[in-house]
Amino acid sequence: MQPENLPPKNSASKEFWKFLAIVVFIILPIRIWVAEPFIVSGDSMYPTFKNHDYLIVDSLTYKLENPKRYDVIVFRYPLDTKRYFIKRIIGLPGETVTVHNKTITITTPDNPEGFIIDEPVLDVETQGEVTTTLANDEYYVLGDNRPVSSDSRIWGSLKKEFIIGRPLIRLFPFQKIDILPGEVADVDQTGQIPKNQ
């Protein structure tokens, strides 16, 4: 006979199987296909993200739509896919990106004269002298803290297959908790910031 204050053995077993079912059918799919944790390492995205910021990465959105200019993304480093980087998208597939005289010019088939992009998140100028033409599955990514960032200026373009997702929530530090951290609002279709902003 069971003591009155303990649940029957079959009840405990039932609870265990319910818990296991929740883990297998709800938590694991969310972890694998929808969101995953990421801890920022280094200062390449300062001041947008600081060392040890704890992020939840949305890994579903880019399965349904393409990344946009100025999106911050987390991706596998193409030269060592065991490492993860966080950078901001500057150039889109099919564009030519030129870094010259501390400015970034984007040239497209529809805009062969090119345009200099606005970068509202930066306090620093972009160093480097490089021109890169992106294939239909490639992006040009840069860190917000350009002087210390290892990015497309150094190791080249980023193929879409390496993109994990975008930061959905910053959970730590607690005083900086926010949704879609690093997002740039009011970007037009070319990726420009309207001049009245």
Residue 54 tokens, joined: 């704890």
SS3 168: strand
pLDDT value at residue 17: 65
State whether residue 175 is helix, strand or coil: helix
> Per-residue confidence at 8, pLDDT binned at 50, 70, 90?
low
Mean pLDDT along residues 130-137: 95
Predicted confidence (pLDDT) at residue 4 exceeds the cutoff of 80 = no
**How is residue 83 written in tokens?**
């490492």
What percent of the chain is modeled with pLDDT above 70?
Answer: 73
> Which residues are CB-neighbours of 19 under 8 A, at least 6 positions away?
none
For residue 6, what pLDDT is reported?
Answer: 53
* Higher pLDDT, residue 44 or 15: 44
Per DSSP, helices labelled H in 23-137 are 28-29, 61-64
Q: Across the chain, where does the E strand assignment appear?
A: 35-39, 54-58, 72-76, 84-91, 96-100, 103-108, 111-116, 130-133, 138-142, 158-159, 163-172, 178-179
Residue 188 in contact with residue 120, Cβ under 8 Å?
A: no
> Measuring CA to CA, how many Å separate 113 from each of 118, 127, 139, 153?
16, 22, 20, 22
Q: Give every CB contact of residue 54 below 8 A, 6+ residues apart in sequence.
A: 37, 38, 39, 40, 170, 171, 172
Asked whether the beta carbons of 43 and 53 are under 8 A apart, the reply is no
Residue 105: both structure tokens together: 């010019």
pLDDT greater at residue 116 or residue 195:
116
pLDDT of 122 > 60? The answer is yes
What is the set of active-site residues?
A: 44, 87
Q: What is the pLDDT of residues 138-159, one digit of tens each?
A: 999 999 998 899 999 999 999 9
pLDDT band at 18 (very low <50, low <70, confident <90, very high): low
Average pLDDT over all residues of the chain: 81
For residue 85, count other CB atoms closer than 10 A to its CB. Answer: 24
Write down the H helix ranges in 8-141: 9-22, 28-29, 61-64
Q: What is the pLDDT of residue 194?
A: 43
pTM: 0.76
